[in-house]
Homo-oligomer: A and B are copies of this chain.
């Protein structure tokens, strides 16, 4: 049996491992700028996208990454599937394994699902988001985006702003930023902060006070449900204290950049003016996503057999 490598959360990598992926992603980003944006590195490998939650950008990003490595891609989404027929996740996973799928990219509303898959089947597992728990490739593409713009991240300060409590993006992102030696702030109303402290992360409810320290302002998507749940009094109130707009940007550190995992709620956590400003790097994040996922797939699927990855 082949030994499999996985990417379940950023903990699977140390700082060196992260930097190796980011370096490889840079090569793949360069491939993206060629007329023929494709390399034969994973020809003959099969990557299955197993998505139990709706998603556009993450699914397309993984699909494109796999195709640009010349892998074959199978898409399985819960709605178009036999979930109705009552097939269990385990049986679906065993089916994919039996078909000889090399990697399973999984998104699931239940935290921990990718760990179950790793236990159940002999295939490389990539976590594309599990419940409110982890989203490691998002964290890696965010690091890549920052590093390309700011160089060394050591000592830089990033604030994650918004619904930290329910955010897998924040959870993986904060860990990854700590690995790279960044200062990490979590900015949110008290009802949207985790009830216990997180190592190395400074919690605060005062966005305006935090702004002057920030090199990076990382906005999280605000779900309308939070109001119904009573976690925020109203969206208007939330906007007043936590939206990033041009006024607040004036108070951030000069040269600060704004990030967002998308899709944005324009007019809620971010004003349209900021969303379209040159210091907002969402487009670069999406572009980085393809390159970073190519690097992750290539690293995990032991590209050695298929060449050095960059033709």
With an 8 A cutoff between CB atoms, is A94 at the interface? yes
6 smallest CB-CB distances across A and B, nearest first, come from A36-B44, A98-B286, A87-B263, A38-B44, A56-B82, A98-B287
A253 at the interface (CB under 8 A from B): no
Question: A68, A87, A263: which has the most chain B beta carbons within 10 Å?
Answer: A263
Residue of B34, B74, B85, B283 near A63 (CB, 8 A) is B74
Closest residue of B by beta carbon distance from A48:
B60
**Contact status of A91 and B264, CB under 8 A, knowing A38-B72, A80-B80:** yes
Contact B283 A98 (CB under 8 A): yes
CA gap between A37 and B68 in the complex, in Å: 18
Query: Per-residue CB proximity of A39-62 to B under 8 Å, as 1/0?
Result: 000011110100000111100110
- Which among B44, B82, B265 is the interface contact of A54 at CB below 8 angstroms? B82
* B99 adjacent to A54 (CB under 8 Å): no
In the bound complex, residues from chain B placing their C-beta under 8 Å from that of A48 are 60
Closest to A284 in B: B98
For A94-110 the 0/1 string (1 means CB < 8 A from B) is: 11111110000000000
A290 — which chain B residues lie within 8 A by C-beta? 99-100
Nearest-neighbor residue (CB-CB) of A33 within chain B: B100
Within A268-310, which residues are at the interface with B (CB < 8 Å)? Answer: 282-287, 289-290, 305-306
Known: A95-B286, A266-B88, A286-B95. A68 touches B60 (CB 8 A): no
* Interface status of A228 (Cβ within 8 A of chain B): no
Cβ–Cβ contact B76 & A64, under 8 A: no
Q: Mark A253-266, 1 if CB is under 8 A from B, else 0.
A: 00000000011111
In the complex, A88→B74 CA distance in Å? 27
Cβ-defined partner of A56 (8 Å) among B35, B92, B285 = B92
A125–B208 Cα distance when bound, in Å, is 42
A94 in contact with B263 given A44-B38, A99-B64, A100-B37 (CB within 8 Å) = no
A76 partner, pick from B35, B56, B94, B100, beta carbons under 8 A: B56
Is A234 part of the contact surface with B, judged by Cβ < 8 Å?
no
CB distance from A11 to the nearest CB of B (A): 28
Are A54 and B76 interface neighbours, CB within 8 A?
A: no
Contacting residues, chain B, for A76 (C-beta < 8 A): 56, 60
CB-nearest residue of chain B to A286: B98
Complex contact A95–B60 (CB within 8 A): yes
Q: List B contacts of A282 (CB < 8 A).
A: 94, 98
Q: A86 contacts which chain B residues (CB < 8 A)?
A: 263, 265
